[in-house]
Amino acid sequence: MSNSPKMTRRQFVTVIGAALSSFIGAVIGLPAIGYLLSPALEKQQGESWIPLGPLEKYPINQPTLFTFTRTKKHGWEKTVTSYGVFVLRTSETQVRVFSNVCTHLSCRVNWKPDVQEYICPCHDGHFAIDGSIISGPQPRPLDEYEIKIEDGNLFIFLKET
Ligand code: FES
């Protein structure tokens, strides 16, 4: 006669039932948890080339405002940011692109063709057509974007922070 404890039929059914319940719970529950958590685990691309359209649509020596928005996802939260840039085409093939955000306290500058300056309405900052400082409290020239031209189309490189 053996001394090992014997499992009753009732105990055996209970153990098998618990094991099956756990298995079914894992099969159903893990994908559901993964689905719910996946937005929080997504990585958002922080850099990209933004198309500004055909270069030829921008007049030479006239800063032209181009606006666009970018949507950024942080987990379940979406943030829409609007951007404005001035495209300054200096010849048939040469172009520079400046941010319209003042380098003082981030107000939006406007191009004033009558005086040929970008003017910030907040503290009367004045910038020249090439983004350099003329007068005002701003600490540096307008920020300039890296550009590329592909098949006659202009792109700027945007680094989102
Ligand atoms: S924010 Fe532009 S001059 Fe102050």
> Does 138 sit in the ligand 1 pocket, CB within 6 Å?
yes
Per-domain residue ranges of the chain: 1-41, 47-159
CATH for 47-159, options being 2.40.10.120, 2.40.50.100, 1.10.10.10, 2.102.10.10: 2.102.10.10
Q: Among residues 155, 153, 159, which one has the least CA distance to residue 57? A: 153
Q: Between these two residues, 160 and 82, which has the higher pLDDT value? A: 82
Question: Exposed, middle or buried: residue 138 (CB in 10 Å: 0-12, 13-18, 19+)?
Answer: buried
| Tokens of residue 156, six digits | 């700027």
Probe residue for ligand 1, chosen from 104, 109, 126 as the CB with the greatest number of ligand atoms within 8 Å: 104
What's the CA-to-centroid distance between 126 and ligand 1, angstroms? 9
> Does 107 sit in the ligand 1 pocket, CB within 6 Å?
yes
pLDDT of residue 2 exceeding 60: no
pLDDT-wise least confident of 4-8, 74-78, 86-90? 4-8
Q: Which atom of ligand 1 is nearest to the CA of 138?
A: 3
Neighbouring-strand partners of residue 96: 88
pLDDT at 1: 46
Per-residue CA distances from 63 to 5, 119, 120, 149 (Å): 90, 13, 15, 18
Q: Between these two residues, 57 and 2, which has the higher pLDDT value? A: 57
Q: What angle do CA 105, 108, 111 make, to 5 degrees?
A: 130
Q: Between these two residues, 19 and 116, which has the higher pLDDT value? A: 116
Sheet holding 47-54, edge to edge: 47-54, 153-159, 147-150
pLDDT, one tens digit per residue, over 53-83 is 999 999 999 999 999 999 888 888 888 999 9
